[in-house]
């Protein structure tokens, strides 16, 4: 029996573990893959307080070590169900089951796909969702990045230093990314902005050869000859396993306010899987601190 079970070992979940352990509560972190979440794919974190430049992998390993050093137990298993048994939360994984007095959902999100035919088949043969993972395979080649947020523009910046040319395809004529990032990208001579356009077809013969993009205003179609396509059009919260446990919004995000309370007593949420206007590293760690603090209060109030 654990005081608090944290589902997800990203920045939100590990921060929650740190705060819960500092409150002298027993903590189990369940992580399906590797600790760190999507931040491990960020080559350079520039907007986190204290340190101006820090690799995402380094951040992830440091926060994991901090949580372990404080006594948090980390188990690499995927949680598939959570239910309440008379005040005890039972978390079922693909390998077993664990009991806790409170649960924090910090499951993050997964890459959203374009939904084009052959997209899945071309993963690893031209289609990628991680520029820092796969960018090196496209040195001296031409690639395209699809998206208009921070991730897409950061991917384009990273790739511009590796490849001959980058097409940045975005469905609007303005970006959601930070203006400083947009300005840096405009200075890159090998980056071409393809705005008001959406990908409609992947052209391939075993490997990707080109993408067809459609102008959303006049309907014209343009073919971009590329060897790689990096998709950065957002993420989908990993909450499907918990839709019968807590209230979700239409996008699948857990409904909760700044106190991180969900619709289920004793179940809290933190990070990108929560309904929120801003999803950044700093907001994920803030959520983790809040969720853990509230979970500790819940465990204390439920104590005999």
Q: State the catalytic residues.
A: 130, 133-134
| Whether 101 contacts 302, CB under 8 Å | yes
Token pair for residue 224? 């971009």
| Whether 77 contacts 30, CB under 8 Å | yes
Q: How far apart are CA 228 and CA 210, in angstroms?
A: 8
Please say whether the dihedral angle defined by the alpha carbons of residues 243, 282, 9 and 157, taken in this order, is positive or negative.
Answer: positive
Question: CA angle 98-253-115, nearest 5°?
Answer: 110
Secondary element (H or E) of residue 286: helix 281-302
In terms of C-beta density within 10 A (0-12 exposed, 13-18 middle, 19 or more buried), how is residue 209 classed? middle
Contact partners, residue 75, CB within 8 Å, separation at least 6: 28, 29, 30, 31, 98
Pairing between β-strand 2-7 and β-strand 97-105 as defined by DSSP bridges: parallel
């Amino acid at each position: 029996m654990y005081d608090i079970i944290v589902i997800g070992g990203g920045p939100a979940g590990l921060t929650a573990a740190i705060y819960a352990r500092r409150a002298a509560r027993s903590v189990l972190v369940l992580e399906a893959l590797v600790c760190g979440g999507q931040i491990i794919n960020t080559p350079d974190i520039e907007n986190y307080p204290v340190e101006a430049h820090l690799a995402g992998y380094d951040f992830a390993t440091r926060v994991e070590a901090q949580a372990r050093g404080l006594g948090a137990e980390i188990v690499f298993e995927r949680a598939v169900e959570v239910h309440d048994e008379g005040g005890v939360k039972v978390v079922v994984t693909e390998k077993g089951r664990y009991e806790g007095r409170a649960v924090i959902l910090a499951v993050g999100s997964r890459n959203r796909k374009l939904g084009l035919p052959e997209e899945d088949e071309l993963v690893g043969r031209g289609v990628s969702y991680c520029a820092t993972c796969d960018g090196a395979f496209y040195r001296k080649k031409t690639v395209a990045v699809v998206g208009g947020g921070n991730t897409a523009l950061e991917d384009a910046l990273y790739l511009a230093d590796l490849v001959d040319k980058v097409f940045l395809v975005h469905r609007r004529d303005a970006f959601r990314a930070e203006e400083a990032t947009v300005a840096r990208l405009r200075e890159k001579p090998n980056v071409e902005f393809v705005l008001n356009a959406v990908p409609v077809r992947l052209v391939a013969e075993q490997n990707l050869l080109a993408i067809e993009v459609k102008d959303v205003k006049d309907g014209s179609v343009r073919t971009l000859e590329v060897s790689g396509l990096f998709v950065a059009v957002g993420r989908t919260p990993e909450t499907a396993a918990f839709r019968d446990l807590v209230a979700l919004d239409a996008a699948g995000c857990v409904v909760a306010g700044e106190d991180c309370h969900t619709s289920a007593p004793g179940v809290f949420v933190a990070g990108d899987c929560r309904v929120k206007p801003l999803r950044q590293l700093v907001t994920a760690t803030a959520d983790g601190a809040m969720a853990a603090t509230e979970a500790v209060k819940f465990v204390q109030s439920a104590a005999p």
